[in-house]
Chains A and B, each alone.
Chain A
Amino acid sequence: MDITLQAIMSQALLGLNNGAFYALLSLGLAVIFGMLNVVNFAHGAFYMLGAFVALLGYDQLGRWLGDESIRMSFWVALIIGPIIVGLLGVLIEKTMLSRLYKVDHLYGLLLTFGLALIFEGVLSNYFNMAGEPYNGKPEILEGAINLGFMVFPKYRLFSIVLSLSVCFAVWYLIEKTKLGSHLRAGTENPDVTRAFGIDVPSLRTLTYFLGVALAGLAGVVAAPIYSVSPKMGSDLIIIVFAVVVIGGMGSIMGAILTGIALGLLEGLVKVFYPPLANTVIFIVMALVLLWRPSGLFGKEN
Chain B
Amino acid sequence: MNAPVIKLASVASLQKKKTHFTPWIIALLLASVAPFIIYPIFAMELMCFALFACAFNLLLGFGGLLSFGHAAFFGGAAYLCGHAIKHWGFSPELGILFAMLGAAILGLAIGSIAIRRQGIYFAMVTLALAQIVFFLCLQLPFTGGEDGLQGIPKGHLFGLIDLSSTVSVGQQQLPLALYFFVLAITFGGYWLIWRTVHSPFGMVLKAIKENEPRALSLGYQVNRYKLATFVLSAALAGLAGATKALVVGLASLSDVSWHMSGEVVLMTLLGGMGTLLGPLVGAVTVSTLHHELASLGSWVTVTIGVVFVVCVMAFRRGIVGEIAYRLKRSF
Residue from B298, B309, B316 within 8 A of A96 (CB atoms): B309
B298 with A114: CB separation less than 8 A: no
B128 with A111: CB separation less than 8 A: no
Binds A, one of B16-24, B129-137, B185-193: B129-137
Question: B297 interface residue, CB < 8 Å from A?
Answer: yes
B305 with A121: CB separation less than 8 A: yes
Give chain A residues whose Cβ lies under 8 Å from the Cβ of B309.
96, 111, 114-115, 118
CB distance from A12 to the nearest CB of B (A): 22
CB distance from B213 to the nearest CB of A (A): 13
Interface size on B, residues (CB 8 A): 41
Chain B 272-316 against A: per-residue CB contact (8 Å), 1 yes, 0 no?
000000000000000000000000011111111111110111001
A282 with B128: CB separation less than 8 A: yes
B120 with A125: CB separation less than 8 A: no
Give chain B residues whose Cβ lies under 8 Å from the Cβ of A238.
127-128, 131, 258
Residue from A39, A117, A122, A245 within 8 A of B304 (CB atoms): A117
B131 with A105: CB separation less than 8 A: no
Binds B, one of A65-73, A133-141, A193-201, A285-293: A285-293
Give chain A residues whose Cβ lies under 8 Å from the Cβ of B129.
282, 285-286
Residue from A37, A100, A103, A289 within 8 A of B116 (CB atoms): A289
Residue from A110, A242, A282 within 8 A of B308 (CB atoms): A110
CB distance from B297 to the nearest CB of A (A): 7
Instruction: Report the bound CA distance from A249 to B309 in whole Å.
Output: 25
Question: B177 interface residue, CB < 8 Å from A?
Answer: no
A39 with B302: CB separation less than 8 A: no
Chain A residue with the shortest CB-CB distance to B308: A114
Chain A residue with the shortest CB-CB distance to B300: A121
Question: B117 interface residue, CB < 8 Å from A?
Answer: yes
CB distance from B248 to the nearest CB of A (A): 24
Give chain A residues whose Cβ lies under 8 Å from the Cβ of B313.
96, 99-100, 111
B301 with A124: CB separation less than 8 A: yes
B302 with A117: CB separation less than 8 A: yes
B262 with A113: CB separation less than 8 A: yes
Instruction: Report the bound CA distance from A245 to B138 in whole Å.
Output: 23
Question: A172 interface residue, CB < 8 Å from B?
Answer: no
B312 with A242: CB separation less than 8 A: no
Question: A279 interface residue, CB < 8 Å from B?
Answer: yes
Instruction: Report the bound CA distance from A220 to B311 in whole Å.
Output: 32
A242 with B128: CB separation less than 8 A: yes
Instruction: Report the bound CA distance from A113 to B300 in whole Å.
Output: 15
Give chain A residues whose Cβ lies under 8 Å from the Cβ of B124.
39, 241, 244-245, 249
Give chain B residues whose Cβ lies under 8 Å from the Cβ of A294.
117
B269 with A293: CB separation less than 8 A: no
Question: B221 interface residue, CB < 8 Å from A?
Answer: no
Q: Contacts A111-B313, A289-B116, A290-B113 given; 7 further ones with Cβ under 8 A?
A: A96-B313, A105-B120, A114-B307, A124-B298, A275-B139, A279-B135, A286-B113
Q: Which A residues lie at the B interface, using CB under 8 A?
A: 33, 37, 39, 96, 99-100, 103, 105-107, 109-111, 113-118, 120-122, 124-125, 238, 241-242, 244-245, 249, 275, 278-279, 282-283, 285-286, 289-290, 293-294
Closest 10 CB pairs of A and B: A114-B308, A117-B305, A121-B301, A121-B302, A118-B305, A124-B298, A114-B309, A293-B116, A279-B135, A111-B312
11 pairs across A/B with beta carbons < 8 Å?
A: A103-B316, A107-B312, A109-B66, A113-B308, A114-B308, A121-B303, A241-B124, A285-B125, A285-B129, A289-B117, A294-B117
